[in-house]
Amino acid sequence: MVLTRVYVVYDGEPESPITRLAEAVVAGAASVPEVEVVQHTPEQASVEALVAADAIVLGSPNWHGPTATLKALLDKAGLAWERGELVGRVGAAFTTGWSRAGGQEMTLLMLLHLMLAHGMIIVGLPWSRRMVRSGSYYGATSTGGPTEEDLAQAEALGRRTARYARWLKLGRGEETDEVEGGLFTQHTST
């Protein structure tokens, strides 16, 4: 059995909105067979663990971008960037904020920009009716405390990220991916 490792790194206190979203991301990723999920705060995380992962999901409350604590961890990955050690890994992001126009999408884009600079493959959320009230194309979000819709978006992001990492690790054949209101089939050759 070949395990796929999803590494979820988020900056949050217990019971905080970002921690609740992180737990939903973890639950979604863990629902995919043969996926191992590791969940850390920036203080627990390491560049070595980032490099060992098949997928990395970053979460930060919106502090005019990612928190300084998460940014400090990511800044330590400069040598990994120079060596291309994260190229081809799957990446995704999630965030929380207290205001609808508080900049959550900017925080997501800043996290995704860093992953793109490492040559990672980004997974977002495709359009669904749920997105009228929750989430962003760029990743899972919440305004204030997460609603059930927000948690469902975070879980979907975790599941999608784990599936894509698994497909890439094993070589992808015909698979299906959930979209609200039905399934669509992805056809590729291995």
pLDDT at 174: 47
For the chain, give the longest Cα–Cα distance: 45
Range of the domain at 57: 4-186
Convert 80-99 to b/e letters by CB count within 10 Å (16 or more is b): beeeebbeebbbbbbbbbee
Spatial CB neighbours of 159, under 8 Å, sequence gap ≥ 6:
28, 29, 31, 32, 178
Give the model's pLDDT for residue 188: 38
Per-residue pLDDT of the chain (190 residues; tens, 9 = 90+): 889 999 999 999 999 999 999 999 999 999 999 999 999 999 999 999 999 999 999 999 998 889 999 999 999 999 999 999 999 999 999 999 987 767 788 999 999 999 999 999 999 998 877 777 777 889 999 998 899 999 999 999 999 999 999 999 998 654 444 444 444 334 333 3
CA-to-CA distance for 110 and 127, rounded, in angstroms? 21
Give pLDDT, residue 83: 95
Q: Are 93 and 58 contacting, i.e. CB atoms less than 8 angstroms apart?
A: yes
Domain CATH code at residue 138: 3.40.50.360
With tokens 């995919």, the residue in question is 32
Closest CA to 11 of 93, 106, 80: 93
Cα 94 to chain centroid distance, Å, stands at 6
pLDDT at 6: 98
Q: φ and ψ at 55, to 5 degrees?
A: -145, 145
Helices (H), the chain: 17-30, 47-52, 68-75, 78-83, 104-117, 148-170
Whether the CB-CB separation of 84 and 119 falls below 8 Å is answered with yes
* Residue 161 burial (C-beta neighbours within 10 Å; 0-12, 13-18, 19+): buried
Total count of domains within the chain: 1
CA distances from 84 to 59, 90, 118 (A): 22, 14, 7
pLDDT of residue 172: 60
